Amino acid sequence: MKEIIEKVNILKEKLNKWGHAYYVLDNPVVDDAEYDKALNELINFEKKYPELLTQDSPTQKVGGVVMDKFEKYKHKLPMLSLSNAFNKDDLINFDDQILKEIENKKYNFFVEPKIDGLSISLIYKNGILFKGVTRGDGFYGEDVTSNVKTIKSIPLSISDKNDYVEIRGEVFLSKKEFEKINKQRQNNDEELFANPRNAAAGTLRQLDSSIAASRNLDAFLYYFMDREKFHTHSDSLNYLEEMNFKINNLGKICNSIEEVYSHIEYIQSQRENLEYEIDGVVIKINDFDLYEKVGYTAKSPKWAIAFKFPAEVKETTLKNIFASVGRTGRITYNASLEPVQIAGTTVQAATLHNADFIIQRDIRIGGKVKIKKAGDIIPEVIAPIQNEEYIKLKKWTEDIICPECNSNLERVDGEVDQYCINSQCPRKIVRGLEHFVSRDAMNIEGLSIKIIEKLFESKFINNVADIFKLKKFQKELIQLDKMGEKSVNNLLESIEKSKQNSLEKLFFGLGIRHVGKKTAKTLAINFKSIDEISKLGFDQLDQINDIGPIVAKSVCDWFEIEQNLNLIKDLKELNVNMIYLGNEGTKNNDKITMKSFVITGTLSKPRNYFKDLLEEFGAKVIDTVSKKTDFLLAGKEAGSKLEKAEKLGIKILSEDDFLEMIGE
C-alpha cells in the first residue's frame, strides 16, 4: 500500500505542476496525451482506493457533482461595486477627493484591466479550497464551490495554511471558448449567449458541475483580503502569484494620475489583441494602510474607481426592421444587420427601441448605419449614414398591426410606445409566462423560454395557472423533444416548491404593468394577502410610499378585469400561497415591523447593509423624510435630512440605538 500512496502522490504533484504550466503560465511542458494518461491513471487509483481521494486532488476538477440548488452564503466583508470614471477629468476629480482625506501623504496607484466576467470570492481553510462564492447582492452570494473546483487555473490547495484565507477575483470565458460554446449551442438549436460575461455567469450557475468543467472557465485573482499581512496591493499580488494563482500581467504601479491615464491608453490599445474581454480599467491606491483613512461611500470604496471604456462604434448595412412583442404587449423594433465584429462578438441584430426613435433619426432599410454596444452588452443602432444612396431609399413607416396576432396596435396617451392590447396574443402570453417563472418572480427552474414556447405550442400551458397543472401530463412531457424523465421530474419538483413562495414573488410574477419587484414587496408587507390588496381603492394605494398614481391606477385596473380575478381563483384552488410570509429569518419586532425608515449619513457599513436588515424585520426603507417617516437612522455628516427630521419631530436613531433596537 505504501508503494501505491507514493505513486498517487507523484501523480498529483506532476499533474498540478503540468496544469499550472498550461492553464496559468500558458507554457505547456507536456502534450495533452501525456497529461490525460496521467490523469486517467490517478482516477483509476482513486476508484480502486477511495481512501486516497483528497479534496485537493487534480481529479476534482473534472466535475460531476449535481446540486439541487445553490445555498446562500454571507460574505465576511461586503463585495462592493466601484464608482465609474469615463474621462481624464473624472480621474483628476478622484485624485482630488483622495487628497482631501489624506493631505500631503505620498501615495501611488495600481492600475489593472477590468475583466469582463463574474466576481468570485475564494475561501481557503488550512490551505484547502473551502468555498467559492459569487458576489450576489454584495452581502449574500451563492455557494458555487462545486463549479469553481472545475476551473483549472484555480488551485484546490495553497501554501498559506491559515485557518481562513479569502481571495477575490473574476471568473471569465476566453473569446475562443465563448465562440466554441455558441457554435455548439447553435448546432443544438439552443439560444446563443449574448456575450462572454453572460456565458460565464450561466456556466457558474449550472447545477451539474460536469457542464461547468466542459466549458473551460478561467479566472484572474486580484485581491488578497488580509491587509495585515502586506502593506501594498502590488505585494499581495506577488504573494498570490507565488501561491500559483493566475495574475493579470497588465497590472502596473503608477505614481501620478498622468501615469495612470497613460497606462489606461496602453491597455485600451491592447484590448483587441487580448484573449479575454475587458470593459475598462480598475485604479486603486496601492497602499493598504490608506484604505480606511480614505474611506467608503454607501455603495463603493473611495480608494478605487473603474475607468469605463467608451462603447466601440462600427458601420454596417441595415437589412431589415422587424417588430417584437413583450409581455405587456409593448412593441420593440429591432434591426437585422449585415454581420459585423464589435467588442469581441459578431453582431447581426440590434435594438431600435420604438417607432419614434426610428422616425426621428430617419433610419431607412438598406442604408448604412452606425451601431454600438450600450455598456458593451446590447447592440444598438445610433444613427444612419446619410449619403447619396441613402437619400434614394424609401422612408420607413411604423407597423399598425401586431406581428404575432394581427390585432391593431394602439398608443397610450402621452407615451411613445405602441401596444398590442389583445389579451390572447400568443407572444404576450409566452413572454408573460417567462416573466412569471423568472428568478425574481416565482423562480421555477427548468422553464426556459424555449421550453415555455414548446409547452405553449403543444397546448400544455396557456396561462400561469396551467403551469401548476403540468403534473398530470408527466408522461406526455417526458416524450417532448429534449425534455427527458430527469428534467421533467426536476421541473415538477421546482413548480411544487414555488407554491410556497411569499406573496411578493407571486404578485411581481403576475406582470401587472408598472409593478416592479420593490412595489410588489411594499404591497405585500403592508397588506399581507392578495385578497386585501384586491379590495384597495385608488386613493388608498396612492397614499402609500413608493406607489403613486400611475401604479395605483394600474393595480386597480388589473383587479377590475374578470379574467384576472378568475386566474387568482384558479391559483388558490391549486394551493399557490397568497400570503406574505416575510423574509427568511424575519424576527418579530413591534418597534420596527411596518415602520418607515430613512437612512442618511456615513455609517460603519454600506447603507444597503442596514436597508437589508430593516427589510428583514418587515420595515419600509424610503428615500425622503416626510411626516409619514417613523425613524431616521443617522450616521456622520447626516446633513439636510437630519435637519428636516428634527423640524418634523421624527425619532432620530444613531447606529448604536438602531443595533440595540434590533437586539445586536
The SS3 assignment for 47 reads helix
Tell me, letter by letter, the H, E, C secondary structure of 195-261. CHHHHHHHHHCCCEHHHHHHCCCEEEEEEECCCCCCCEHHHHHHHHHHCCCCCCCCCEEECCHHHHH
Residue 556 annotated as binding site:
no
Quote the Cα angle for 39-42-45, to 5°: 155
| Sheet-wide strand order for 651-653 | 620-622, 596-600, 631-634, 651-653
The SS3 assignment for 605 reads coil
Q: What is the dihedral of CA 543, 548, 551, 554, to 10 degrees?
A: 70
CB-count burial class (<10 Å; 0-12, 13-18, 19+) for 464? buried
Residue 405 annotated as binding site:
yes
Residue 402 annotated as binding site:
yes
Active-site residue (options: 12, 14, 61, 114): 114
Residue 378 CA to residue 237 CA, distance in Å, equals 33
Give the pairing type, strands 378-384 and 368-374: antiparallel
Residue 205 annotated as binding site:
no
- Inter-CA distances, 467 with 447, 449, 565, Å: 10, 13, 17
Helix H or strand E segment including 657? helix 655-661
Q: Is 229 noted as a catalytic residue in this protein?
A: no
Residue 486 annotated as binding site:
no
Residue 82 annotated as binding site:
yes
In contact, 171 and 147? CB cutoff 8 Å: no
Residue 49 CA to residue 108 CA, distance in Å, equals 54
Please give the full DSSP string across 60-125, using - where no structure is assigned: GGS---B-S-PPEEE-SS------EE-SHHHHHHHHHHHHHHHTT----EEEEEEESSEEEEEEEE
Residue 33 annotated as binding site:
yes
Quote the Cα angle for 305-306-309, to 5°: 150
Quote the Cα angle for 374-375-381, to 5°: 10
Residue 417 annotated as binding site:
no
Beta bridge pairs of residue 114: 280
Residue 254 annotated as binding site:
no
Please give the full DSSP string across 459-502, using - where no structure is assigned: TS-SSHHHHTTGGGGHHHHHHSTTT-HHHHHHHHHHHHHHTT--
DSSP state of 636: B
Pick the closest to residue 72 from 663, 605, 583 (CA basis): 583
Rg (CA), the chain: 28
Binding site as annotated, residues for NAD(+): 32-36, 81-82, 112, 135, 170, 284, 308
Binding site as annotated, residues: 32-36, 81-82, 112, 135, 170, 284, 308, 402, 405, 420, 425
Binding site as annotated, residues for Zn(2+): 402, 405, 420, 425
Active site residues: 114
